[in-house]
Amino acid sequence: MIEKNFKNISFISIIFLLPFIDFLKNNVSEIDIVLGKSFYFLILAILFLLILLTYIFNFFLRDKNFLKTFLVVVVIYWFAFKHNFLKLVIQSFFDKFYSSAIEYSSEISLLLLIIFSILSTILINKNNKFFRKFIFIFFYLTFFVSLIQIFSFSQNSYVTENNEINLVNFKDKLNDKKENIYFFIVDGMLPIKEFEKNYKLKQDDFLNYVDKKNYKYIHNSSNIYHNTTHSLSAIFYLDKIFDKDGKLKEKSKILYPTVLRKDNKPDLLKNLDNLGYDFKWMGNFFAYCPKFNLKYCLNRNVNTTIDPYLYINFFRQSPLIQTIWSFGLIFNFDFNRYIYFEVNNGMGRLTKYLSENQKTNKPTFYFVHHMSPHWPYITNEDCSYKNYPGNENLQGYKSAYICTLKKIRETIDFLKKFDPNSTVVFQSDHNWSMSKNIEEKKMIFNLIKINNKCEIKNNIKLNNVNTLRLIFSCITGDSIEYING
């Protein structure tokens, strides 16, 4: 009897742990970040809830077989974490045969999982021997295969240090004191002239303001690429990431934000290390620093017991997040306000952090990905919260753009007092989503303040990469090799 109970408990434990094992497998390259207090607290909390549910079911069903009921509860719990996977399979099927039904894939997935759960409950309660043997083999096999995949990745991680192939390297010929560098990505921001043309709103006041603050706004600027992933990847490699044939170069096969994970050292980070700089990253909800590399985060939160971002990512595989979101909409709970609004305000979060902390003696490169005026449009012109639905909402974009100009002013004023000798860049990674073609999508907002000794030549295209090459040349005295595009 004891041996049988031990076998059943072991089997139930395997099923219970599978969603956590799958989560580790899906996030294996950041496993050192995931395995913390928050993760272990989550395991204990879910275990407690499942045991509590089992007791409740047994009480109402007047069933004395606790382990059998617990097995049913755990199997249904496992099914729940297959919701997203099944939804993607259904979407793929509908995309080929019934594209009009794709929007119902989530509901169909949930319905199928309910049916599977009911059938499993019936078969377990009837002690169906074939079903028992099947799930025994299936779950144990799944568990050990997943563990092997995790351990094999740990031994042969694809996230390795880049080779010294065509390394962009700046040698310090000046040995001067190094000042802080602030590089702000204002995501999806129209160039000033394009904004004026589309909205019939002159921005002479802003241009005069930045000019008086010794910032230079560079009109007619275009970036190398037309999307965030490629543009920001090029920043970290200080170079184009594709060769002439349109293939990723050997050294730039790991793209942003994965390139910031542990043990990666793209050209930008190597140069910063060589020059004695720290690198700090202020991301947003879509590329949140703690999910990739804690050592780059300003607020590391490594020892927190409750990590909402980890929990959101974990439960995203189940119907829970979507269900909570749906109920939130029914009761007028605005998730954009409480999830995206603050996290996507990179400039505000940085200035708040700096105002509450003393400057360090070591020079720092601050990379701030401010998720505005990019969609979702959740700011009014005065930067208070307001939600504009849709990613092509012209009024929403206008409000977000004017708010971003306001944020830029506030950041300039703050840095003027806090760090007057720093180098500061405000650039977009690409144009707005309403661009008519790729060339228009490459046009960017471009505002720079650099060392007075440095010369900004009008015939040089200061895209994201060339701007950084100019900055490194200024602080090292090394020669510049600009790239075309």
Contacts of 376 (CB under 8 A, 6+ apart): 336, 340, 387, 388, 391
Per-residue confidence (pLDDT) for residue 160, from 0 to 100: 41
Report pLDDT digits (tens) over 11-46. Answer: 999 999 999 998 888 777 667 667 788 889 999 999
Q: Given pLDDT bands bounded at 50, 70 and 90, which one contains residue 391?
A: confident
Lowest mean pLDDT among 78-82, 258-262, 286-290, 373-377: 286-290
Q: How much is the average pLDDT of 193-210? A: 97
Question: Other C-beta atoms within 10 Å of 282: how many?
Answer: 25
Residue 82 has pLDDT above 80, yes or no: yes
Per-residue confidence (pLDDT) for residue 99, from 0 to 100: 56
Looking at every residue in the chain, the average pLDDT score rounds to 87
Report pLDDT digits (tens) over 361-380. Answer: 899 999 999 999 999 999 99
Higher pLDDT, 115 or 106: 115
Q: Given pLDDT bands bounded at 50, 70 and 90, which one contains residue 334?
A: confident
Report pLDDT digits (tens) over 281-317. Answer: 998 877 878 767 778 888 655 446 677 767 877 887 8
Q: Given pLDDT bands bounded at 50, 70 and 90, which one contains residue 162?
A: very low
Per-residue confidence (pLDDT) for residue 315, from 0 to 100: 85
Q: How much is the average pLDDT of 122-129? A: 88
Contacts of 82 (CB under 8 A, 6+ apart): 113, 317
Per-residue confidence (pLDDT) for residue 304, from 0 to 100: 61
Contacts of 26 (CB under 8 A, 6+ apart): none
Alpha-carbon radius of gyration of the chain: 26
Reduce the DSSP state of residue 354 to 3 states and report it.
Answer: helix
Per-residue confidence (pLDDT) for residue 264, from 0 to 100: 84
Higher pLDDT, 101 or 259: 259
Torsion (CA) 115, 121, 123, 125 in degrees, nearest 10: -160
Lowest mean pLDDT among 31-45, 211-225, 284-298, 340-354: 284-298
Alpha helices in 339-393 (DSSP H): 341-343, 346-356
| Domain locations along the chain | 2-155, 181-476
Lowest mean pLDDT among 90-99, 245-254, 397-406: 90-99
Q: What residue ranges in 246-360 does DSSP mark as E strands?
A: 278-282
The phi and psi torsions of 310 (rounded to 5 degrees) equal: -65, -40
Q: For CA atoms 441, 257, 185, 471, give the dihedral sign.
A: negative
Residue 158 has pLDDT above 50, yes or no: no
Here the tokens at position 257 are 């934000």
- Of 237, 57, 94, nearest in space to 163 by CA: 237
388 close to 378: Cβ distance less than 8 angstroms: yes
Per-residue confidence (pLDDT) for residue 452, from 0 to 100: 80
Q: For CA atoms 326, 327, 330, 334, give the dihedral sign.
A: negative
Percent of the chain with pLDDT over 70: 90
Alpha helices in 200-302 (DSSP H): 204-212, 228-237, 267-274
Cα-based distances in Å from 49 to 34, 45, 53, 194: 21, 6, 6, 55
Q: Look at the domain 181-476 and name its fold.
A: Alkaline Phosphatase, subunit A (3.40.720)
Report pLDDT digits (tens) over 426-440. Answer: 999 999 999 999 999
Lowest mean pLDDT among 67-71, 154-158, 164-168, 264-268: 154-158
Per-residue confidence (pLDDT) for residue 157, from 0 to 100: 45
* DSSP string across 1-43: -HHHHHHHHHHHHHHHHHHHHHHHHHTGGGHHHHSSHHHHHHH
Percent of the chain with pLDDT over 90: 55
Q: Given pLDDT bands bounded at 50, 70 and 90, which one contains residue 163?
A: very low
Contacts of 483 (CB under 8 A, 6+ apart): 224, 239, 240, 465, 466, 469
Per-residue confidence (pLDDT) for residue 381, from 0 to 100: 96
- Of 6, 41, 9, 15, nearest in space to 310 by CA: 41
Question: Other C-beta atoms within 10 Å of 470: how many?
Answer: 22
β-pairing verdict for 278-282 and 364-370: parallel
Per-residue confidence (pLDDT) for residue 323, from 0 to 100: 76
Per-residue confidence (pLDDT) for residue 34, from 0 to 100: 77
Residue 442 has pLDDT above 90, yes or no: yes
Q: How much is the average pLDDT of 224-237? A: 96
Most distant CA pair in the chain, distance: 84
> Whole-model pTM above 0.75?
no
